[in-house]
Amino acid sequence: MVSREEVLEALSEVEGPDGQDIVTAGRVRSLVIDGARVGFALAAGAGEEAAMEPVSQRAEERVAALAGVDRVLAAVVADEDMPAMDGAMPRGGADSGIAARARRLAGRFGRRDIPARPSPRPAPQRPAGT
């Protein structure tokens, strides 16, 4: 089984559209390793989605070349907190949508141990006439 460190090292060899490697730039999100299968999301700033597609392909190829990896799935995800090609680190944020995308990505691997966001509880119903 491949380690998280090995995957991140391979991904650090891939350059993003801003000229910085995708790990240092904070673009690699939601890394999931399930035996010989690896999945991750690559954050794209506003208008960068098209430029990130070839980066995603190179990232998949790098990880697929690692010993012990049979399948790789990378997804480019829009992240409004990701600065567009200015080299700054992303601010992150609880409501950026990355967690939801990670759960969908993990679902493609058959992983069920990533908890879904709990749905809000319905308001208690009052008996009629009170």
pLDDT computed for residue 115 by the predictor = 47
DSSP-derived 3-state class of residue 38: strand
pLDDT computed for residue 85 by the predictor = 47
Determine the Cα–Cα distance for residues 2 and 72; give it in Å rounded to an integer: 12
pLDDT computed for residue 44 by the predictor = 92
pLDDT computed for residue 106 by the predictor = 62
CATH hierarchy code of domain 4-108: 3.30.300.130
Q: Which residues of the chain have pLDDT under 70?
A: 80-125, 129-130
Provide the whole-model pTM. 0.63
Contacts with 47 (C-beta within 8 Å, 6 or more apart), sequence order = 84
Taking only the tens place, the pLDDT of each residue in 25-57 is: 999 999 999 999 999 999 998 888 889 999 999
